[in-house]
Amino acid sequence: MTVSISKKLVLLSVLAASFAACKNEQASTPTPAAKTETAAETTAGAEESAPAPAAAVAPEIVYVNSDSLLNRYQYFKDVKARLEAKGKRMENDLRTKATSFQREVEQYRQAANGMGQEQRATTEQRLAQKEQQLAAQQQNSANQLAKDENDEMKKIYEKVEAHLKKISAEKGYKMVLTYTRGNSAILYGDASLDITEEALKGLNQEYKDSKANAKK
């Protein structure tokens, strides 16, 4: 009986000690809510002490690749196709008239021996005048094409310039340079300064909108 009571007392004392230790551990361990508050305070403190990220500064000087700009600008491609078609029409017209003239010259050569002197003189004068007219037409056609090309290039330049001014006002650019491979004052330019794609996107969209408005 004594042994049994002693064992019970020992068991109770062990349980009591374990219970006390458990209570002490729970008291020293923060609750989930306390952990959350502590973590939040730590994060807030870290955010307050961490420096704010520096804002990205836009470059003041950028450039465009003029070759890519013209080759991929739809308005320029349409103008180029229109001028080429007009030049081909002029060339075909001149070729037809030149062929006809050569035919007349050959006919005159074959018939010259059977003509009188006055008739030959009249025919030769007419052929000479026709030759001069063909030469004048050829020169006028070349001059007209050159003028048309200059006028269209001026329009293209004005459109590109206006759009680049718009981009510069929005992005804070101070200067936009032009770059042409093998023929440029810019020997090297960082790719981050190349706004060709941005300019092309805007220019083609403006041209697309203008064509849509013209159809209305």
Cβ atoms of 143 and 59 within 8 Å: the answer is no
In this prediction, residue 51 carries a pLDDT of 55
The single residue listed with the structure tokens 């790719």 is: 191
pLDDT digits (tens, 9 = 90+) for 169-199: 999 999 999 888 777 777 788 888 999 999 9
Beta strands in the chain, from DSSP E residues, in sequence order: 61-65, 175-179
Helices (H), 55-116: 66-72, 74-111
pLDDT digits (tens, 9 = 90+) for 203-215: 999 999 998 888 8
Other residues' Cβ atoms within 10 Å of the Cβ of residue 73: 20
The separation between CA 193 and the C-alpha centre of its own chain, rounded to angstroms, equals 13
pLDDT digits (tens, 9 = 90+) for 2-14: 444 344 433 334 3
At residue 15 the predicted structure's pLDDT band, cuts being 50, 70 and 90, is: very low
In this prediction, residue 188 carries a pLDDT of 80
Cα torsion 29, 31, 34, 38 to 10°: value is 50
CA 103/CA 108 separation, integer angstroms = 9
In this prediction, residue 9 carries a pLDDT of 36
Whether this prediction's pTM lies above 0.75 is answered by: no
